[in-house]
Amino acid sequence: APMRTARHTVDMMRGVPLTPLRPEVEVLRSGRRIQVVRASLFSGPDLDMEMARATSLRMRVADIPNPVDSEKTAHPEDEPHALPDEPVLLTMLGIGVPAFLRAVEFRRTGEYRDGAPGLVWLRMHNEMVAGCETSAFVRLATVADMASMAAQYLQPDEWMTVNADLAVTAFRDPVGDWMGVRALHKNDGDGIGLSEAVLYDLDGRVGRATASILIEPR
């Protein structure tokens, strides 16, 4: 039976440099209904230093459809949000426009980075791997990384906020190129925070993302 990625978790071991990286992929569990896959990226002079590690949970797509009752599962966060008309050029302190944001079209609501639930929309311009079609879940997981920024209220010239991980869970694959991230940020006073987000396509809710945030003064 075909498989679909239901959950994807990334742990950042170190800051990833803008240098060649070596991927390594291993199937940890291979079953008819559930698969678990690990992927790591390595850098360093000998390409043996692990920079990031991801684990994906894949589930079989059922041959016989199960019931879907949208009324019983309805939630206010399910409703799709309007796509803003104008793109925005986002810059980051000290580096201008980061490389990732040069590869996407970025749109936002007026709530972005003011502490309220922030909503951003992104569309990828490029393939994740040259010559390979980018899957729907990869597009979703790529833009879900914005959860740590979409509602961050701490002033970037005073505080550095780093997401040390990212967990993405989806109950369906997104449709289309545009992915929405409606995020909420919480933190205590000990330098640890949490960003959580509802993930959308233009039809409505797709899943959820969470990120653990390291907070340090600049």
The pLDDT of residue 151: 78
What phi and psi, each to the nearest 5 degrees, are found at residue 139? -60, -40
Whether residue 79 lies inside any domain: the answer is no
Diameter of the chain measured on Cα atoms: 56
The verdict on 205 and 98 lying in the same domain is: yes
**Predicted confidence band at 189 (pLDDT cuts at 50, 70, 90)?**
very high
Asked whether 84 and 108 are in contact (CB, 8 A), the reply is yes
The CATH number given to whatever domain includes residue 162 is: 3.10.129.10
**Is residue 105 classed as helix, strand or coil in its secondary structure?**
strand
The verdict on 51 and 132 lying in the same domain is: no
- 50 has which bridge partners? 42
Whether residue 210 lies inside any domain: the answer is yes
The pLDDT of residue 180: 92
- 37 has which bridge partners? 27, 56
Whether residue 72 lies inside any domain: the answer is no
**Tokens found for residue 57:** 């949970």
pLDDT digits (tens, 9 = 90+) for 11-63: 999 888 888 899 999 999 999 999 999 999 999 999 999 999 999 999 999 99
Domain that holds residue 43: 1-62
The verdict on 120 and 193 lying in the same domain is: yes
pLDDT digits (tens, 9 = 90+) for 142-179: 989 888 888 788 888 899 898 999 999 999 999 999 99
pLDDT digits (tens, 9 = 90+) for 84-99: 777 766 665 555 556 6
Whether residue 218 lies inside any domain: the answer is yes
The verdict on 130 and 22 lying in the same domain is: no
**Number of structural domains in the chain:** 2
The verdict on 52 and 90 lying in the same domain is: no
The verdict on 16 and 95 lying in the same domain is: no
The verdict on 105 and 55 lying in the same domain is: no
Mean pLDDT of 117-135: 86
The pLDDT of residue 71: 87
The verdict on 31 and 126 lying in the same domain is: no
**Predicted confidence band at 102 (pLDDT cuts at 50, 70, 90)?**
confident
